[in-house]
Amino acid sequence: MPSSPGPGAVDPRLLRAFLTVAEELHFTRAAARLYVAQQALSRDVRRLERELKADLFVRNTRRVALTADGERLLPYARRVLEAQDALLAEFGRAADAERPLLVDVNSPGLVGERILPRARELAPDCELMARFESGLTGAAAELLAGRLDASFGRFAGLDPAIRERLEQQPVRYEPMAIVLPEGHRLADLDVVPLDALAGERVYAGAGNPRTPEWTDLARQLFEGRGIEIAPPAPLAVGAQEFQRVMAKWRNPVLVVVDFPAMPKSIQRPLVDPVPLSPVSLVWKKGLLHPAMEALRAAASELAEAEGWLRRPADGWIPATDERIMTQRT
């Protein structure tokens, strides 16, 4: 009987997770060494076990110990990681790590005020530089060109060929809201049922070449509800210009709950159902930078502590997003 085929290429990150747990024999201490959440570390170890078709650790409430297969893997993992470290040192990873990590703060409340400050705490010797350019589609082109290191947004909204060249880490199901101009017929409501927007033209970034993933999300949300997507507005650069154009056009604007307040307008949560904007941390495959590890750890830590990946019972996302958001990197 022929033997089953062996594993394909093994991600060195998974080997590093295994080796650190093997050295610490304690998942919490190993996670602290790697600047990752314990849940993420456990997930990486389980993924490696699946790929190798072997149990590597014995786990119970009292101890963690290597299995026979774990002991067998240990010297191979050490040699692979030593070779990788030597290769990266030879070709300048140290120099690359000294450069700033450029992060697109696509969601100012979520990223700029929460995740980025925590990442800076985790990697105090690294520089994480923020910029604000809404739209993951636009950011993806910059990521692939090497002009940007990380961004946040709706990964499922990217072209599949683009997704193949990027990595993603689910961060949050961000509830959506509607911004209404003062005096709007729905402005007196505390929350706005989605069907109450029937007959409205809602601005959702139509015509903006950087944000088609957001417009597509709105189109799927509004389908069959009698809600139209407002036609393209003049492309505004910067918060002040955007606010001026929206105030002039007086269309309701589809946003997320952390969207900055706009003058002469009222923001209300959407309900029945609660529409969710799936947010992932996105970066180019193969990126190696200690600040990137800190950014991932900060996003994972906050998502776990704040329950950002727990969906409300009446939460809505497209099926394509649901599949992608359950694929953890």
Mind listing the domains of the chain with CATH numbers? 12-91 (1.10.10.10), 94-173+277-325 (3.40.190.10), 175-275 (3.40.190.10)
Looking at the predicted structure, is the pLDDT value of residue 150 above 90? Answer: yes
Closest CA to 200 of 184, 213, 220: 184
Give start and end residues of each alpha helix (H) in the chain. Answer: 12-24, 27-34, 38-52, 68-90, 93-98, 116-122, 136-145, 160-163, 212-222, 239-249, 290-306, 319-325
16-66 pLDDT, tens digit per residue, is 999 989 988 988 888 877 767 788 889 999 999 999 999 999 988 778 999
Mean pLDDT on 247-264: 81
Among 22-36, 146-160, 189-203, 294-308, the least confident range: 22-36
Among 1-5, 102-106, 130-134, the least confident range: 1-5
54-103 pLDDT, tens digit per residue, is 999 998 877 899 999 999 999 999 999 888 777 766 665 555 556 899 99
Looking at the predicted structure, is the pLDDT value of residue 213 above 50? Answer: yes
Closest CA to 204 of 188, 185, 217, 186: 217
Q: How far apart are CA 157 and CA 280, in angstroms?
A: 11
- As a whole-number percent, the residues of the chain with pLDDT over 90 amount to 54
Describe the crossing of helices 38-52 and 27-34 by its angle, rounded to 10 degrees: 100
Q: How far apart are CA 99 and CA 263, in angstroms?
A: 38
The greatest distance separating any two alpha carbons of the chain, rounded to the nearest whole angstrom, comes to 77
> Which residue has better confidence, 162 or 107?
162
Return the structure tokens found at 65: 């110990």
- Give the model's pLDDT for residue 297: 94
- Give the model's pLDDT for residue 3: 41
Mean pLDDT of the chain: 86
Give me the count of residues in the chain. 329
Among 33-42, 137-146, 191-200, 214-223, the least confident range: 33-42
Dihedrals phi, psi of 73, to nearest 5 degrees: -75, -30
- Give the model's pLDDT for residue 329: 46
- Give the model's pLDDT for residue 242: 66
Q: How far apart are CA 102 and CA 151, in angstroms?
A: 9
The 10 Å CB-count burial string (b at 16+, else e) for 83-118 is eeeeeeeeeebeeebeeebbbbbbbbebbbebbbeb
- Give the model's pLDDT for residue 10: 85
CB 224 within 8 A of CB 251: no
Q: Which residue has the tokens 């998974």?
A: 14
Direct distance between the N- and C-terminal alpha carbons of the chain, in angstroms, rounded to an integer: 35
Dihedrals phi, psi of 325, to nearest 5 degrees: -70, -15
Looking at the predicted structure, is the pLDDT value of residue 113 above 70? Answer: yes
> Which residue has better confidence, 247 or 144?
144
Q: How far apart are CA 157 and CA 217, in angstroms?
A: 8
267-323 pLDDT, tens digit per residue, is 999 999 999 999 999 999 888 888 999 999 999 999 999 999 999 989 999 999 998
- Give the model's pLDDT for residue 82: 86
Return the structure tokens found at 267: 């923001």
> Which residue has better confidence, 4 or 273?
273
- Give the model's pLDDT for residue 234: 65
Looking at the predicted structure, is the pLDDT value of residue 182 above 90? Answer: no
